Every structure is written in structure tokens, then in C-alpha cells.
Amino acid sequence: MSEEIVIPSPADFHVHVRQGKMCELVTPQVAKGGVRTAYVMPNLVPPLTSTDAVLSYKAELERIDPSVQWLMTLYLHTDVTPDVVRKAADAGIYGIKVYPQGLTTNSDSGVKDYEAYYPVFQAMEENNMVLNLHGEVSSDAEKNISVLNAEVHFLSHLKKIATDFPKLRIVLEHATTAAAIEAVSSLPANVACTITAHHLYLTIDDVPSQPHHFCKPVAKEPKDRKALQDAIKSGNPKFFLGSDSAPHPLSSKIPNLTDDGSVSACAAGVYTSPILIPLVATLLESFGALDKLAGFVSENGRKFYGVPAGENQELKLKRTGNGKEDGLVKGTFKGEGVEVLPFWTGKKLGWEIVN
């Protein structure tokens, strides 16, 4: 069994690094987790709906950690017109993220009607921008739609947009179901899909007892998790890493009694950045796909986005030792007035970063 692995420059094609004190705390952890290129989500408060706002956020991330290549996105919103798309593309912004309204963190001003944005999608297609889709529909008791089948019900939207814009590069983000894997596999090469580390491990059974495992989309059934694992095992270049690492203050992951006597809702998000590439290596090895690590974390996404690896950016990993503390993930990360708990706390990683 190999004791060391060297992979080309890893990229995380979906990460949340937040703003303010949380941003100061979590941004340096992206590189610590082995990532050299990070594709940054725009669901800040307020959301990033203009090129200027995105560029000043990028400057802030570069100030905190200039070692990472930060790739930026806009938040799809009524403010984002075809003119805004052209300006964003000229400024080097890579993509536009679609948040269905009300379905996850800071999505209140997200999208309700996809066709209303067709002129924007057309401008994106013409300007070679990538459309990043949070693939869920709203719950609807009449139609028996809940968080458990919200992604499956979204797939008709994915297929329609892909058919109507055959040259638009589209990424279905953080897939969680066998149906999504099948849909992406059957669509043409302009449609790809990110898979998170946590969805390769969790199933729905892990969520009710553990608010730290609650994220959107929620983890699904064992057969769905197996489909995600099999997609990676197949080596299909449509599938690549997008961690959806989503830090929230510890206090907002735990339902609390509030001053007005109600109970606060638990924030959606699993935080994986600090351990990301060792975690992905550990998980891929657990289901017999360690030989696909370089493709999944370094090559497939870079190829789809056209972002080549920089010089001398290989990552070397070695197997963790057998000591009590070797590979042990210890929570929490603390910054000024913020504390966040990483995924896998209390468990042992099988791999660690050497350089």
C-alpha cells in the first residue's frame, strides 16, 4: 500500500468563505486544507450582485491569503442584467450562482422563475460564463415535495436550461441523489456536477441526531451516496470536487431558545475546508477510489473551467500514523468573537498534508 501520494494542484470549485470576522477565521483554512484554487460563493449579506462588489470581495480574500487563486461568482438577482453579465465577464468573474429563493443560507433574494432570466443566460452563453445551479425546488405539501425529493424535482429545470442553452456551461452543484448523477451523465459535455466530501459520507440517518450534519441539500439514502461514490469511481470527468464548505458560528448550528421565547432554526452548512483534501483522500480510499483522487480534486474541474494548475503546486499527502492523536480532527476553530466546528471532529483522517 502506497504511503505517499502526490497530486497536481487541488481545486475546490464551491466554497463559502463569508465576510467579517468569520472570513478572517476561515479564509486561511482553505490553503491549510490543501486547496490552491477556490471558486467562491456570493451569498453574502447583502448578496454580491455587482461586478464592483465581487471585485472588492476578491481583493479582501487576496489580502487575507494571497497564496490561493480566488475565482469569483455573482449572485443571480434582478439586478443582474445582460449588461452586468458582460461587465462581469470582462472583469474576469467566472460564473453566476443561482439560489432558488428561500431554500438555503442568504437566499431570500434568489430566483423564483428560471425563464425570467433567459436573457441573462443568453448573455452568459455569449460571454463564456458558467451557470452554477443550486438544484432544489421549494417544498410543497400538495405536490408531496420535501427536502427529501427537492433535488429530483429540480432535474427537469436542469434539463430544460441545458437544452435551451446548448453552449452554456452549467454546473449542478453539490449533487446528492442517484437521479442527479444519472441526469448529469446523460446530458452533453457542457453540463457538469460538483460533489462534496460530506455527501460521500453522510446519509439522511446521520442528520436528525446531529445538527452539524444539516446542510442543503440534505444527505439522502445509502443508494444515493453509492451513486455519488460510483460517479467518482467511474472517472467520468463531468464530476469534480466542490466542497460547499459552509462555516456557521457554532451558536447558530445549535437550536437555541431566543429572547422572544421561540426556538431558533439550525443553520444549513457543513464546514470541511481545514481538512478538505486529506478528508477526500480518506473517503475515496474507503470506497476503493483513491486512484481517482487526482482526477476528482485536481484535473476534472480545472479542465471544465479552463483553469490550468500553476507551476510547482503539487500537493503531497502521507498516510497518518497509528498514534492516539494521529489524524485526529479536533474542534473548534476560534477567531475574534467567532467559533466554528469542523466536520469529522473526533474522527481520524487516514491521510495528512506533507507540504
Ligand X SMILES: O=C1C[C@@H](C(=O)O)NC(=O)N1
Single residue of 58, 134, 157, 225 touching ligand X by CB under 6 A:
134
Closer Cβ to ligand X, 89 or 184, answer by number: 184
Beta strands in 16-151 (DSSP E): 37-40, 69-71, 73-75, 95-98, 130-134
Whether 351 contacts 317, CB under 8 Å: yes
The CB-of-152 to ligand X minimum distance in angstroms stands at 17
Under the criterion CB under 6 A, does residue 215 sit at the interface with ligand X?
A: yes
Q: In the complex with ligand X, which residue's Cβ is closer, 8 or 269?
A: 269
Read off the amino acid at residue 108. Answer: D
Binding flag, residue 14, ligand X (CB under 6 A)? no
Nearer to ligand X, 246 or 349 (CB): 246
Of the pair 265, 354, the CB lying nearest ligand X is at 265
Least separation in angstroms between residue 69's CB and ligand X is 21
- Among residues 140, 148, 173, which one has the least CA distance to residue 158? 173
Q: Determine the Cα–Cα distance for residues 353 and 280; give it in Å rounded to an integer.
A: 12
The reply to whether 268 sits near ligand X by the rule CB under 6 A is yes
The CB-of-252 to ligand X minimum distance in angstroms stands at: 10
Q: Which is nearer to ligand X, 178 or 268 (CB)?
A: 268
Shortest distance in whole angstroms from residue 310 CB to ligand X? 27
Q: Verify binding: residue 246, ligand X, rule CB under 6 A.
A: yes
Q: Which of 16, 36, 157, 213 binds ligand X (CB under 6 A)?
A: 16
12 binds ligand X (CB under 6 A): no
Per-residue exposure over 112-144, b if at least 16 CB sit within 10 Å of its own CB, e if not = eebeebeebbbbbbeeebbbbbbbbbebeeeee
Q: How far is the CB of 270 from ligand X (least distance, A)?
A: 7
Our finding on whether 216 is near ligand X (CB under 6 A) is yes
Query: CB–CB of 296/241 below 8 Å?
Result: yes
Q: Give the residue carrying C-alpha cell 405539501.
A: 141
Instruction: State yes or no: residue 269 binds ligand X (CB under 6 A).
Output: yes
Long-range contacts from 162-167, C-beta under 8 angstroms, 24+ separation: 162/187, 162/188, 162/190, 162/191, 164/118, 164/121, 165/121, 165/122, 165/124, 165/125, 165/131, 166/190, 167/125
Exposure on the CB side of residue 64, measured as CA atoms within 13 A? 21
Q: Which of 246, 218, 243, 22 is nearest to 103 (CA)?
A: 218
Task: Please count the residues of this chain forming the interface with ligand X, following the rule CB under 6 A.
Answer: 11
C-beta of 214 vs 351, nearer to ligand X: 214
Which DSSP state fits 298?
A: I
- Shortest gap between Cβ of 99 and ligand X (angstroms)? 7
Residue number, 266 or 294, with CB nearest to ligand X: 266
CB of 275 to ligand X, least distance (A): 17
Q: Is 105 in the site for ligand X (CB under 6 A)?
A: yes
Contact present, 69 and 37 (Cβ < 8 Å): yes
Which has the closest alpha carbon to 221: 242, 249, 202? Answer: 202
Establish if 220 lies at the interface with ligand X (CB under 6 A). Answer: no
Q: Which of 151, 224, 244, 352 binds ligand X (CB under 6 A)?
A: 244
Min dist CB 138 to ligand X, Å, is 14
Contact between 194 and ligand X by CB under 6 A: the answer reads no
Residue 29 cell numbers, joined: 483554512
Grid cell for residue 179 = 437521479
Minimum distance of ligand X from residue 43's CB (angstroms): 5
CA 121 remoteness from chain centre: 21
| Contact residues for ligand X, defined by CB under 6 A | 16, 43, 104-105, 134, 215-216, 244, 246, 268-269
